[in-house]
Structure 1
Amino acid sequence: MNYQDNIVALATPSGAGAIAVVRISGQDAIVIADKVFRPVKHKDLLKQKTHTLHLGHIVDGAKVIDEVLVSLFKGPNSYTGENTVEISCHGSTYIQQQVIQLLLRNGCRMAQAGEFTLRAFLNGKLDLSQAEAVADLIASDNEASHQIAMQQMRGGFSNEIAQLRTELLNFASLIELELDFAEEDVAFADRAQFRELLDRIEKVLKRLIDSFATGNVIKNGIPVAIVGEPNVGKSTLLNALLNEERAIVSDIAGTTRDTIEDELVIGGIGFRFIDTAGIRDTQDVVESIGIRKTFEKMEQAQVVVYLIDNGQLILDNELQKVNLEIEKIRNQFPLKPLVIVGNKADKIDNGQIDAIKSQIPGMLFLSAKEGIGVEELKATLLSFVNTGALRNNETIVTNTRHYDSLLKALEEIQKVNYGLQMNLPSDLMAIDIREALYHFGEITGQVTNDELLGNIFANFCIGK
């Protein structure tokens, strides 16, 4: 692929709108724009300063296509590092296509997905992890995912990796130098300082690797399965959480026969709630399929909310039966947080609530129908997410590719540390050091190949 030519794409979402932005990038971007742009004050676009705006018309010969505002960015002081022009036109789909087709006839080609950001990476405006953060920023749909993407795009993660790589590279140079003087048996690298560096790198890598568990759920949302017997109020609870009539509610047991999902942002964190079919013994074939799906969703969920009807709990033997069900869920999903919630709390008195609490410690009480206790449930769900790292502005890993490279780098660092403790020859340690440096370079893009870049930027939107 030729990355020296001139590209064009719509930078705003496709479809009609108030305005649309058509972006051009490349060595001749300003020259091409000048061919089709007629400024109202008869300025020569080629002689204008960078980062300036110009009002005029896009013309095709004698035909005026639209009145536009042209933004001028001269390389290297642009997003891509190349000459860049952004044409803000009216948002008619007809106008958009006319402008783009005119530019294609005058020396541009259509940009591929993510090609503007790819050129920014190739021209040294962003490293690879920052480029990936651009896509995450566009896709962010809650405060937490936005905050993480912004921190990574500003270089927080890549700066931390780059610093570790630089320090390791300095010691690697001394180790390599020792190999050149192997016959003289000279030691250039201070082994005590090297061990201290390796311990520090290992600690940082473990912290970053551990952060992926938090980062992954923040980026993709936390799935929460709402389970329980029929008619305990699961659909009513879902509606109360979302504050809308999302699920059908009725007094008929087994109304919900398939899973219903919707998302809600709590404290800046995205949660995906799954209303499931009621768990019971049934001969209904369709309902049985729904119950099977309930257990599948429990398997996939990060958190399970087990909903109970408080009115039923005060009946004889119901508490014992419910405790058996709770124990069964805990045994089947021992690693998942289980929130036990007693619904229809407005139907029982305080004495009955105290009696139930003594039998089921930690149980939450609410009334989904009346909206009582719903906020307490939201606070409990939020407590399962490690938001402390966000508040402290710590680096959080959200990218699977980065996570994989960090694991491989940690493995190599541990090999070097072991070699140092066993007093292994420098040439053996040098191999593992080179591998660790390679995996650090994979994260920031100092080590790349066309296939890797193709996979990363294929997920971008056209025009970015």
Structure 2
Amino acid sequence: MNMLADIQDTIVALATAPGVGAIGVVRLSGPQAVTIADAVFKGKDLRKQPSHSLHFGHIILGEEMIDEVVVSLYRNPKSYTGEDTVEISGHGSPFILGKIIEACVAHGARLAQPGEFTQRAFLHGKLDLTQAEAVADLIAANSRAAQQTALNQLRGGFSGDLKLLREELINFAALVELELDFSDEDVEFADRTQLKNLVQRTYKKVSQLIDSFQLGNVIKNGISVAIIGKPNAGKSTLLNALLNEERAIVSDIAGTTRDTIEETLNINGVLFRLIDTAGIREHSTDQIENMGIERSKQNAQRANLILHLIDMTDEAPDQFPWLKAFSEKTIEVYTKFDKWQQQKEAAGIAVEADFSQHPIAAKTGFGIDELKAVIFEKAIGDAVSTENTIVTNARHHVALQKIAESLEAVEAGMQQGLSGDLLTIDIRRALHYLGEITGQVEVDRDILGTIFGKFCIGK
């Protein structure tokens, strides 16, 4: 994708999802957007209409009437892209919408490339680069936590944090560089104690942002939860109970689940990817079952959380010594509590549920809500907040790590008593990566192409 060429072109694309719908929207943006729209529109003269106005009329191609439409007019700079923008809302037939686009192209518009509307918003200063990337994250959000995180970034939460860090470093960099003009007089304009405190404060904030990436990544992509246990421990029954539907086959025959089954579950606005694995028993003679068991172990190792199911009615509980290495991400869940309770009561022993031990009876739904709360608390706790900046973008994460390295070098340089010109090199390096995140410094065209190339056409 040629990022900076043809910025003077007027582009056109379908802005709504492809396929049949009640309505569809065709978007035009560029210096000739209003002129081109007026050429295909039969109604008021759009060239004489004010910004932020709606107009009913018809789209025509030659002598042919294509559709009845409503045209929305946005004049620069008060538009999403910062350019003249026109949105044509017509009936949601793919054929009709295609004809509207064809009419616009016939009068001089060019088909937009993926993300080109948002790219123009960035180039015209309507969004910085982190906000532009948040647009794509918001479109792809499949949970409330992902939506809130992207929305916070789109509103400038992350940009605001970086802006404050950058301004402080710029001020001190300027003072340090000023010293170079008076190097013969041995003058220090930048108080080294204050600079050290600033570097430590900045490093602490950057470290917090770096640490938030692990959480941000799972919020964005979902938290994987592997359900493991012996055959007939109740894994498939639990999966069905959590989903509230019959997704997995439930059978008393050991080894029914031969492969992994993956489903998604939304708990308190966070997406969890549940993986129902094959039952693990150490001495199966079935080759296919053994392959499933090995895959279960691999899924457990890769998962963010492990639900280790233990059958309370089993007289020989499972022993999985390899699980000890993953104890921090493992929740032990005791299944078939209802049957176990009946057995005890039949023997004259009265028992009550201790939810701190996570007992469940998946067939009846007993303990399922309590287990969901435990899963959420183990994975997220109170870390998700619309007030906190959570890094979800791998590009940002890499840049933040480079900023942290630069700040460590500055602090080490001060401890060694390095001169201001040497300190400035690392301060400027930190500033460069701060600016690269938001696009305040020139960003490589290939990076821009990768960022905007992930967008859908029309956005």
Instruction: Tell me which interval the TM-score lies in, with the shorter structure as reference length.
Output: over 0.9
- After the TM superposition, which of the residue ranges 147-156 and 202-211 deviates more from structure 2? 202-211
Partner of 1:274: 275
Q: For 2:427 and 2:212, how far apart are their aligned partners in 1?
A: 24
Counterpart check, 1:380 vs 2:380: no
Give SS of 1:125's match.
coil
C-alpha distance 387-56 of structure 1, shift in aligned 2 (>3 A): farther
Which one-letter code corresponds to 2:275 in the other structure?
I
* TM-superposition CA deviations, 1:393-421 (whole Å, max 9, x none): 11111111111111110110111112122
Report the counterpart of residue 362 of structure 2 in structure 1. 368
Is 1:390 the counterpart of 2:384 in the alignment?
Answer: yes
Deviation of 1:386 after TM superposition, in Å, equals 3.4
Give 3-state SS (helix, strand or coil) of 1:231's partner: coil
- Aligned equivalent of 1:415: 409
Instruction: Tell me, in whole angstroms, the C-alpha distance in 1 between the residues paired with 2:365 and 2:322.
Output: 26
Change (3 A) 1:352 1:421: farther
CA contact (8 A) 1:341 1:366 kept: yes
- Contact kept, 8 Å, 1:340 with 1:362, in 2: the verdict is no
Equivalent pair of 1:30/1:85 in contact (CA under 8 Å) = yes
What is the number of residues matched between the two proteins? 450
Matched, 1:2 2:3: no
Distance 2:172 2:158 in 1: 22
1:455 aligns with 2:450: yes
Q: 3-state DSSP class of the match of 2:366? A: coil
Which of residues 9, 12, 17 is equivalent to 2:16? 12
User: 1:67-91 CA deviation, whole Å, 9 max, x = no partner?
Assistant: 0000000011100000000000000
Among residues 385, 403, 414, which one is paired with 2:397 in the alignment?
403
Do the aligned partners of 1:114 and 1:461 also contact (CA within 8 Å) in 2?
Answer: yes
Counterparts in 2 of 1:361 and 1:243: CA distance versus 1, 3 Å: closer
Alignment-mate amino acid for residue 297 of structure 1: N
Structure 1 residue 435 and structure 2 residue 429: aligned?
A: yes
Counterparts of 2:355 and 2:323 in 1: how far apart (Å)? 14
SS of the equivalent of 1:390 reads: coil
Aligned CA RMSD, in angstroms, stands at 2.0
Q: How does 1:114-193 map to 2 (within 5 A)?
A: 114-193=115-194
Stretch of structure 1 that moved more, 385-394 or 426-435: 385-394
Whichever residue aligns with residue 345 of structure 1, its letter is F
Q: Distance in 2 between matches of 1:141 and 1:377?
A: 22
Q: Equivalent residue for 2:326?
A: 333
Distance in 2 (alpha carbons) for counterparts of 1:460 and 1:181 = 51
For 1:98 and 1:110, the matched residues in 2 are separated by 13
Is the 2:307–2:332 Cα contact (8 Å) retained in structure 1?
A: yes
- 1:362 deviates by 5.1
- TM-score for the superposition, normalised by structure 1: 0.93
Equivalent of 1:348 in 321, 324, 340 = 340
Structure 2 matches for 1:23-422, cutoff 5 A?
A: 23-39=27-43, 43-280=44-281, 281-312=283-314, 315=315, 318=316, 321-322=317-318, 324-325=319-320, 328-334=321-327, 336-349=328-341, 352=344, 363-391=357-385, 393-422=387-416
Q: State the 1:391 CA deviation.
A: 3.3
1:207 aligned partner, one-letter code: Q
Tell me, in whole angstroms, the C-alpha distance in 1 between the residues paired with 2:98 and 2:177: 58
- Higher mean C-alpha deviation, range 167-176 or range 147-156: 167-176
SS of the counterpart of 2:379?
A: coil
Alpha-carbon separation, structure 2, partners of 1:330 and 1:225: 12
The answer as to whether partners of 1:389 and 1:396 remain within 8 angstroms in 2 is: no
> C-alpha distance in 2, partners of 1:427/1:237?
63
Deviation for aligned residue 1:332: 3.6
* 2:96 alignment partner, SS class: helix
How far the C-alpha of 1:214 sits from its partner, in A, is: 1.2
Q: Unpaired segments of 5 or more residues in structure 1?
A: none
* Shift, 1:220, TM fit: 0.8
Partner AA of 1:388 in structure 2? D
Distance 1:295 1:442 in 2: 41
Structure 2 distance, partners of 1:252, 1:297, is 23
Choose 208-217 or 51-60, whichever is displaced more: 208-217
CA contact (8 A) 2:23 2:90 kept: yes
Q: Are the aligned partners of 1:7 and 1:26 in contact in 2 as well (CA < 8 Å)?
A: yes
1:285 counterpart letter in structure 2: Q
Instruction: Supply the AA of the counterpart residue of 1:250.
Output: S
Question: Deviation at 1:330?
Answer: 3.4
Letter in 2 for 1:284: D
Residues 161 and 440 in structure 1, CA contact (< 8 A), matched pair in contact too: yes
Distance 1:332-1:50 versus aligned 2 partners, 3 A rule: same
Identity %: 53
Distance of 2:121 and 2:45 partners within structure 1: 27
In structure 2, distance between residues paired with 1:349 and 1:98: 68
Aligned mates of 1:391, 1:456 — CA distance in 2: 26
